[in-house]
Amino acid sequence: MDQASDFVVATRAALAQLSALAVQYSFSILGAIILLAIGWIASGVLSRWAYRGLSSIHGIDATLAQFFSNVIRYAILVIVFVMVLGQFGVQTASILAALGAIGLAIGLALQGTLQNIAAGIMLLVLRPFRVGEYIDTGSINGIVQDIGLFATELKTYDGLYRLAPNSLLWNVPVTNYSRLSTRMHDFKVGIAYEDDIDKAIGIMLQVAKGDERVLDNPAPTAFVMDLGDSAVVLAMRYWANSSVWWATSRDITKAVKEAFDQQGITIPYPQVTYRAPADEEQPPLLQLSEQAPQTRN
């Protein structure tokens, strides 16, 4: 009887403890579910607000706005997850320390990737180039097709697809051929020393002013740039819109050559004159060395 009564008492105590735990953890589970629901909704709402707010700012790229909105959303979800664990009595300080250590390990493992992300953010914020512009970094050139957080897509003039990591575009000087609306062409040509310099300069200016793509302001200028070994080097500088600069520069070069041919202006080939050295008397030592050796008696 004593064993039976002890078993009943132990059973009642266990049931009471279980009921107490059930009541306690039921509230914790209910609070956790409520926190998760509120956090999920709040993260989505704040993420959309951040995206719309960043997109309305002039100069902020859509990719960058989406990146920051996702960062805000996942940061809120992480905070909510830590708060849910705190509902069950888990020490959040240790969790935060573990998350920090995990983040540090991931950062060290993905150092190159994070460098590309940081470079991509700077490229999207400062905008040294935009989609549709032609750029050249010395080793990478092409028309920008897309700017991502990790890499930039380009298309070369010969139709090749090129993917460049953002770190390679951020750490080097970038020449943007499409950013400014106008561009100067520095045209050089050599004429013979016998030709009329003023006439040649007049022909060059006439050709430039006759092309409607050449801008009147600033006006084209031509002058003698250098006196070469076999030609007088003339230079002409004129401005054209960047969108038609390439075609204009090629057409001007062809038109100047044809105009020179019609007006008898010669573009000489490079010439080098060699003069044979005059015969000189050999030095005495050399003369002695060339004499026949003497024989001894």
pLDDT, tens digit, 9 for 90 and up, residues 267-284: 988 766 666 665 555 555
d(C-alpha 200, C-alpha 236), whole Å = 11
Angle made by CA atoms 189, 193, 196, in degrees to the nearest 5: 80
User: What kind of fold does domain 14-119 have according to CATH?
Assistant: Helix Hairpins (1.10.287)
pLDDT at 11: 65
d(C-alpha 37, C-alpha 44), whole Å = 11
Is the pLDDT higher at 34 or at 143? 143
The DSSP call for residue 63 is H
pLDDT at 70: 79
Give the tens place of pLDDT for each residue, 147-168.
888 889 999 989 999 999 998 8
pLDDT at 104: 66
pLDDT at 200: 95
Over range 77-95, report the average pLDDT.
Answer: 71
Cis peptide preceding 218, ω within 30 of 0 = yes
d(C-alpha 82, C-alpha 103), whole Å = 15
pTM over 0.85: no
Q: What are the start and end residues of each CATH 2.30.30.60 domain in the chain? A: 133-176
Tokens of 72: 């805000």
Over range 106-124, report the average pLDDT.
Answer: 75
d(C-alpha 287, C-alpha 238), whole Å = 65
Q: What does R_g of the chain's alpha carbons equal in angstroms? A: 40
CATH number assigned to the domain covering 182-263: 3.30.70.100
Half-sphere exposure of 117 toward its Cβ, with a 13 Å CA cutoff? Answer: 9
Closest CA to 223 of 210, 214, 232, 236: 236
Top CATH class, 133-176: mainly beta
Ranked by mean pLDDT, the top range of 22-31, 95-104, 210-219 is 210-219
d(C-alpha 185, C-alpha 165), whole Å = 32
Q: In 243-282, which positions are buried (b, 16+ CB within 10 angstroms) versus exposed (e)?
A: eebeebbeebeebbeebbeeeebeeeeeeeeeeeeeeeee
pLDDT band at 286 (very low <50, low <70, confident <90, very high): very low
- Strands (E) located in 91-214: 134-136, 141-147, 151-155, 161-165, 175-176, 182-191
Cα–Cα distances (Å) from 229 to 133, 152, 226, 260, 268, in that order, read 40, 47, 10, 20, 11
Over range 171-184, report the average pLDDT.
Answer: 92
Query: How crowded is residue 190: how many other Cβ atoms within 10 Å of its Cβ?
Result: 19
Give the tens place of pLDDT for each residue, 224-266.
999 988 899 999 999 999 999 999 999 999 999 999 999 999 9
How large a percentage of the chain has pLDDT more than 70? 70
List CB contacts of 38: < 8 A, sequence separation 6 or more: 80
d(C-alpha 227, C-alpha 196), whole Å = 14
Q: What are the start and end residues of each CATH 3.30.70.100 domain in the chain? A: 182-263
Is the pLDDT higher at 95 or at 128? 128
Amino acid at 47: S
Lowest mean pLDDT among 121-130, 177-186, 279-288: 279-288
List CB contacts of 113: < 8 A, sequence separation 6 or more: 150
pLDDT at 189: 95
Residue 222 has pLDDT above 90, yes or no: yes
